[in-house]
Structure 1
Amino acid sequence: MLTVEEQAVVLLSLKVAVVAVAASLPLAVAAGWLLARRRFPGRLVLDALIHLPLVLPPVVTGYALLELFGHNGAIGRALMDATGFGFAFRWTGAALASAVMGFPLMVRAIRLAIEAVDPRLENAAATLGAPPVRVFFGLTLRLAWPGVVAGAVLGFAKALGEFGATITFVSSIPGETQTLASAIYGLLQVPGGEGGVLRLCLVAVVLSFVALLASEWLLQRQRAERAT
């Protein structure tokens, strides 16, 4: 059984992951559609920038977030002065870091799903008088929805396991920013913390495994629908 503190860690991790996915999913859909359906100058540069967090050390991404959204950062200070809302050393900052790290995975899954939609169907709908917004929501997104959901699941799984960017940006404050990964790391530094490490590792494995299974099932379902 998990202790009260461990339950709080799991619940906070789930909240951070859900908020990260919910906040970044609309942008991921827009970016996936843009890369799949439009050709424009700088497209390769945009593609590289979106996927940059996958190849950068997570600590570098966390430091960049701290410089931008920290209390003394250009965006963070202006946001704090205007609204009193901040990201640094708060759970919202953990959600932001998780969203940034999971964003490339979401965009890639969504882009592949949209590319699998036959453009001739979209052209036919437009020829029949459907406005672009209706074509996108009524046709493209409807056919690509398994990939969108799969991308969201991948982003959720990534957010659950995020460590480097999160701990650099918001540290590991119990009850505020201490997620599964940072709690496990902290327990490893404490004599006698092996039991807590084992319990939290099992929770992380189960949650990540279920998320990946759901993602793979959705992708296989999409392929089956394309084949029929």
Structure 2
Amino acid sequence: MTQANPLDPRDFAAALDWWRDAGVDCDFADDATDWLAEPEAEKTPETAAQSGGAAAPVAKPAAPEKIDLFAGSRPSDLAAFHEWWLTAPGLDPIGPRGRVAPRGNPDADLMVLVTDPEENDAEKLLSGPQGRLLDRMLTAMGFGEQDFYLASALPRHMPLAEGSAMADAGYHEVLMHHIALKAPHKIIAFGANILPLLGHNAAQGTKPLREINHERGRVPLLVSEGLDSLMAMPRLKARFWRRWLEWTDD
């Protein structure tokens, strides 16, 4: 039997370079993990004692403090909420300038939610390509301009906002109060980061959120990827349409 030639060091280095060029030399999660590093020995109480030191207890991270963006005084109706949304100084660090108000029929059965306004929104929420896509979708679904109420969970365009962080910053409570004041019969929500703002967290698993419990009751919910993602990937539009048909057939 012919013995296989040992791997030339240059071939080995070339193989590592190939993996690095392919972008898989690290496992990217919240922190990058170097796959090629030597593993560190786990430090147990026994090994700590042998080395002359005691194992330090693992501290549990403190739960983030919930922030009351209402500052103890909540709007009592939808008109008052709109005024507060546009003028309250403590709603976000930037201040009132540049915030975008909800639009549509306050008495409509359907409430449509997005995570944040579009980049160039000023007087009108979703005034750009995302809004045009949404209008076409709602028309195909049988909704006219007076048949829906459109709102964002955040007061201004925040493209890098992380849903859980925004929920901890108080926007979950604001959104829940907004929904309670609106009291819709059903909600469609668009956005990759909108679930934490609706009260759903990773600990609840991957089961779809089908309804929202708010101050005045429950409302059926359909959640979709963001409108920007639907514009970029046509297959997501088809998936949304299937979800819509299943949702309305329940």
TM-score, scaled relative to structure 2: 0.23
Which protein has the bigger helix share? 1
TM-score, scaled relative to structure 1: 0.24
